[in-house]
Structures are given as structure tokens and as C-alpha cells.
């Protein structure tokens, strides 16, 4: 695994706790107008994390954070850790109340070009959701 302070056990647990707490307490995600639309939920989670995910990292673990990407970009957010490792994060949501789910994963060709750079990592952030209308 890549040498990064974000993967240190205490930091990783703190990041996970902070992200889950952020999403759990986010009033924008408790909107009944988006609850029944997996796409709307996914877009809302991506927007919230883009705006506030940088707050979830322990102090000193990241140097730079960005959520400014084109609509079809591979990453939704990206950051550079304190050791100059670049991480692109593709945010995915998963509705646990449906029988079939298939995320849109990045193509092999795009990944091979992405990994030509040294000190580059692609992370997937998966967020389980529950839509009351999906059966």
C-alpha cells in the first residue's frame, strides 16, 4: 500500500467516522424530494462531500483538496496528502433497497493512463443508502 498518513489506522478511522457523521447530519440529504431518486441521492452526496469532505481529514494529513472537475471526469474530488501523494476519489452510492445495482466504473484504458503518473491513486468512496420507495 502507498505510504500516506491517511492510511494510518487512527487517521483512517477518524476520516471514516467524520464522513459518516457529516452525511448522517446533513439536512440536505433528508429531503423527501430526492429520497426516491438514486441519481438525486448520488448527486447530493457527491455535492456535500465535494463541499465539505476536506473538513473530515485530521489536521496536517492533506495539503490540497479540489472538487472542481468536468462532469465526465474520472474523479469527483481529489486531494494531495502531506507526503505529496495525489488521490482522486470517485464517489459512488448504493441503494440497499433494490435488487440490482451496477455502478459506472472507470474504463481500463482511462485507468492505465491515470496510473502512468507516479504517486497517484484512485479511491472509490461507496455510500450505502436506503430509499423507502424502492422495493
What secondary structure does DSSP assign to 27-70, as a single string?
GGGG-HHHHT-HHHHHHHHHHHHHHHGGGGSPTTSEEEEE----
Going by the DSSP 8-state scheme, the letter that residue 26 receives in this structure is -
Q: Which pLDDT score, from 0 to 100, does residue 72 have?
A: 66
**Cα distances (Å, whole numbers) of residue 103 to 68, 94, 110, 125:** 22, 8, 16, 12
**Alpha-carbon span 24 to 41, nearest angstrom:** 13
- Tens digit of pLDDT for each residue in 37-58? 778 888 888 899 999 999 999 9
Single pTM value for the model: 0.74
**Alpha-carbon span 124 to 105, nearest angstrom:** 9
- Tens digit of pLDDT for each residue in 88-115? 888 877 777 777 666 666 655 666 676 6
What secondary structure does DSSP assign to 90-127, as a single string?
EEEEEETTSS-----PPPHHHHHHHTTSTTEEEEEEEE
Please state the rounded mean pLDDT for residues 71-100: 82
What does residue 93 show for φ and ψ, rounded to 5 degrees?
-115, 155
Residue 127 or residue 59, greater confidence? 59
- Where residue 135 falls among pLDDT bands split at 50, 70, 90? very low
- Where residue 132 falls among pLDDT bands split at 50, 70, 90? very low
Amino acid at each position: 500500500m502507498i505510504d500516506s498518513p491517511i492510511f494510518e489506522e487512527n487517521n483512517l478511522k477518524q476520516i471514516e467516522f467524520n464522513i459518516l457523521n457529516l452525511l448522517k447530519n446533513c439536512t440536505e440529504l433528508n429531503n423527501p424530494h430526492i429520497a426516491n431518486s438514486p441519481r438525486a441521492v448520488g448527486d447530493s452526496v457527491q455535492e456535500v462531500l465535494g463541499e465539505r469532505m476536506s473538513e473530515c481529514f485530521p489536521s496536517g494529513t492533506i495539503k490540497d483538496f479540489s472538487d472542481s472537475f468536468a462532469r465526465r471526469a474520472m474523479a469527483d474530488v481529489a486531494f494531495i496528502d502531506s507526503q505529496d501523494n495525489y488521490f482522486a476519489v470517485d464517489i459512488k452510492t448504493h441503494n440497499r433497497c433494490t435488487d440490482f445495482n451496477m455502478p459506472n466504473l472507470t474504463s481500463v484504458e482511462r485507468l492505465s493512463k491515470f496510473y502512468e503518473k507516479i504517486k497517484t491513486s484512485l479511491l472509490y468512496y461507496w455510500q450505502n443508502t436506503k430509499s423507502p420507495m424502492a422495493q
